Structure 1
Amino acid sequence: MSAWPDSSSIPASETAVANKSEGKSTDEKPSKGNREQIQVNPKVFNGETQIEVDGITVDLRNRYLAALLAWLVPGAGHFYQGRHTKGTLFVISVLSIWMLGFALGGFHVVYASWYPGDKRWHYVLQAGVGSAALPALVQGNRMRLATDERGRTRSDYEPLWNGFMAPPHRPVLESEADEVAAWYARRGSGYEMGTWYTMIAGLLNFLVVYDAFGGPLAVPISGRKKRKSDSSASSSDTGEASAFADAV
């Protein structure tokens, strides 16, 4: 019989102590459970207006007002929060796409109508750009009041603003030549492209509204949590972080 005990009978805790005393590392291959996990900033969920990402503090101020401003004018909510770089990016990109689509469609692709045969559901998405699409509601209500019992536009109807965002004259029937058919004939595929461009711009602004309300990414931009060893170096980087703050 061997005088040395079988290694399989030695407890794992004693083996770890022995390895440590001999200078062996027990963490050479860390398991997935030991890997550092990115945690969501809890301030995002508890209603606080100030959140910190990578050492940069962002003041979201009144979240609901910021979201309303971002809907009315793309980027306005970010300017209200002092996030000027994002605000400039959003107002240029979103409104450029929307105006390009509006022009491609001959300035007739954005209008509000729920009349049978011409239910313009596209407007729900186009209205995502806020104030730029609101004149269509005024014109749509004016057309509603000028529609008789037979579903036809009265002869005394005159749209406001030279027909800007006004619905087509009623009735709108696929089997007959109407004002919508004339718009298609003049613009061709540009009418369809303009409709999609204005819808996409509205959808993009919904994301802008969410960003104004929720703030920047709740996880560190660098992809890691701040370690204790970084705290000493963070004081020297304060000046650089402040210059980057309005870009978040």
Structure 2
Amino acid sequence: MADEPSTSSEDRFAPVQVDLKNPELALLLAWLLPGAGHLYQGRTGKGILFMVCILFTFFVGLSMGGGRVVYARWDMSEKRLPYLCQIGVGLPAAPALYQAYLVKERKPPVEIFGVPLMAPPINDHELGQLHRDYGFRFEMGTLYTMVAGLLNVLVIFDAYAGPVFVVPEKEKKRRLRESKENPPPADGDTADEKTDEKTDATATADN
């Protein structure tokens, strides 16, 4: 009797059932604060990991540019496309919207420790001065905060739809090879087996 193929490898790659609770609420929480959606679902390890890594990346980038690399501005002088990525971290980037409103209304932006945190430059001259003051750190800070926002988009998707399970290519080939070596019985074979069983049963009854 031939040995049956082991299913331990298949079990190892089998999807795990995850209780997503209310996916829509988890999505909202994950956007408001990175990792919050996973904490709500009870996926504590992932939640803490995402929260620490994404917020650390965001605030390191923010500090590189003196708190000015994250700002919202959409007018004829500048369309701040990086902010579309930065807002992916949710509430940590939200003050930029209020600061942009104040500047648009020609009101002084809110200052924290003397720094107009996340306030957009009033004009091109101020923007140029920021680049001169911080040099390459201004661009690197912008990049870091953008990456943090984009990473949280993936976290939001994971909180809403659950983890994605990928079967390695090597495992796919192994399963294909085993299916060829041990093909399932065809419909005709099954019918023949049933006919043989019925014939045997009839012969036994006659005896």
By the TM > 0.5 criterion, same fold?
A: yes
Q: Which residue is 1:59 aligned to?
A: 19
Given candidates 108, 114, 125, the residue that maps to 1:158 is 108
Q: CA deviation at 1:169?
A: 1.3
Letter in 2 for 1:99: F
| Structure with a larger share of its residues in strand | 1
Residue 219 of structure 1 and its aligned partner are, at CA, apart by: 5.8
Structure-2 change in CA distance of 1:106 and 1:63 (3 Å) = same
2:31–2:152 contact (8 Å) kept in structure 1: yes
Report the count of equivalent residues: 160
> What is the distance in 1 between the residues matched to 2:33 and 2:160?
14
Bigger fraction of residues in helix: 2
Unaligned runs of 5+ in 1: 1-22, 26-37, 39-52, 147-156, 173-177, 226-248
Unaligned runs of 5+ in 2: 3-9, 176-207
CA distance, structure 2, for counterparts of residue 187 and residue 136 of structure 1: 19
Deviation of 1:57 (Å): 3.3
* Residue 195 (structure 1) aligns with: 142
TM-score by length of 2: 0.71
CA RMSD, aligned part only?
2.5
**Displacement of 1:54:** 4.2
String of CA shifts for 1:219-247, please: whole Å, max 9, x gaps: 679x689xxxxxxxxxxxxxxxxxxxxxx
1:63-106: per-residue Cα shift (whole Å, max 9, x none)? 01001100110000000000001001100111111111111112
- Provide the rounded CA distance (Å) in 2 between the counterparts of 1:114 and 1:125: 14
TM score, norm. by length of structure 1: 0.59
DSSP-derived class of the 2:34 partner: coil
Candidates 93, 98, 119, aligned match of 1:138: 98
Residue deviations 1:91-149, cap 9 Å, x none?
Answer: 01111111111111121100000121221111000000000000000111111111xxx
1:168 and 2:121 are equivalent in the alignment = yes
Using the TM superposition, give the Cα deviation of residue 181 of structure 1 relative to its aligned residue in structure 2, in angstroms: 1.1
Aligned to 1:184, which of 116, 127, 131? Answer: 131
Q: 1:55 to 1:217 in 2, by over 3 A?
A: closer
